[in-house]
Structure 1
Amino acid sequence: MKFLRVGEKGAEQPCILDAEGRARSLVSLVSDITPETTPSLVEKLTGADIDTLPLVDDNARIGAPISQPRNIYCIGLNYSDHAAEAGMDIPEEPIIFTKSSGSYCGPDDDILYSPKMTKLDWEVELGIVIGKPALNISRDEASQHILGFTLVHDVSERAWQLERGGQWSKGKAFPNFCPTGPWIVTPDEVNGGRGLDMWLDVNGRRMQSGNTDTMIFDAETIVSYMSEFTRLEPGDLICTGTPPGVGAGMKPPVWLKIGDRVELGISGLGRQSQRVVAL
């Protein structure tokens, strides 16, 4: 199943893609895709005749695929070749940090550029969406707590992240720094997040290429590990790290500027397109 939300910001309606890739409204079955409705979402749709649901305008805006996660977690340096380009050691355990809930936005919403930014960077990432609470679960149990996977752009301001004397979250929390979607895809459709090609272009130039098979810690390991330290809640989003090719790793570094176009995608999870605009 592929879930999405369609409509203007604040007025999105829950949808599902049919076999031909057309969005159909789920309003008759579920009020919205939210942290409260995610635990029973798949169960409610089991056996439903998707092709009888109303079609949604193909030209309508695609919003973020869940209304608002309670928590957005991130895993740092989860690709060994990205750790190398960053000049950092490969972690022995997952590095965890957070993004502000206010950074969450739709997959094609603008990236906001503040006049105080100097080193704006890009990161294509696989996102995990939690389907039911997880606390102290084993790796073998983890898949039962994953609703699905989604495409995430972990936008980063490197000067704030690395040069301003604080945790990484400082450079990750600005509004619209977490474009998410277009879809949440259930694990059965994307091999549990394994073997998925990833890419990101800036102004038509390929910057990042990778595959989720090169993650140091896979989805089940991440969910189990995190559940040791916190209770993961339905709707929580976990951004699992990025492959090499970020602007900070280039020689000399390359930073996003006003007017740039960023496009990115992961096989089976769709694509995003954003414009960098002045705040």
Structure 2
Amino acid sequence: MAFNGLTTIPTGPKVARSAADAVCDIPSGASLAVGGFGVAGVPDTVIAALVDRDVTGLEVVSNNCGAGGHGLDLLLTQGRIRRMIASYVGENKEFARQYLAGELEVELTPQGTLAEKLRAGGAGIPAFFTPAGVGTPVSAGGLPWRYASDGSVAIASPPKEIREFAGRRYVLEESISTDYALVHALVGDTEGNLVFNKAAQNFNPVAAMAGRVCIAEVEQLVDAGDIDPAQVHLPGIFVDRIVYSGPQHKHIEKRTIRTGGEGRS
């Protein structure tokens, strides 16, 4: 099977006419699970369409919050995001500034725990126990969620239940489900079956599962049945809308180069 090239764009009941149509009903105050890892596999097309709408007060769940004018950074810099649940700040200085200035509420979560919270939400599991974070403020509470303007902690994380199993302590983590999910895939068919590329498989599948309405942008759109079932990473049952984005520019979050003869023997 070849995924390359389209003479005509396939159509189907899940295929949106445009990214704008796909996000037209997302209201202010909505919660979003957004795929991507760093700047890899980020649904830039549907995020840009959401930026064009007058929506504010968003609660976003994502591994990070974009960087350098890409991805979620577009919403962040316009003050559209009220609360972030993420695992790290990364290279986004505006994310750090808003958090420390008390303009943005941030719930920092261990990366593996965040992925499992999303997966559990999509699977209908309300909560689970994990050893990650036991003995730290993650379980004991006190992590700053929002700072006051004077630098004091306005809202802190609450303590979580600890239980012992087979002599080891575990913390109870609640699952996450959101109003919408925005994800990016390399290939999708008209029924919503998706194939992700490399690092894009990290958070996109679980974000898609967690959203009550999942909007997936795909670089290559094919007819139903054209994807070998063994190659499907996420079945179409989790996907509600498909947006054909075409091939996307691959961003580099931080470029490091070597000059001259450095490092050579």
Q: Same fold (TM over 0.5)?
A: no
TM-score using structure 1 length: 0.25
User: Which of 1 and 2 has greater Rg?
Assistant: 2
TM-score using structure 2 length: 0.26
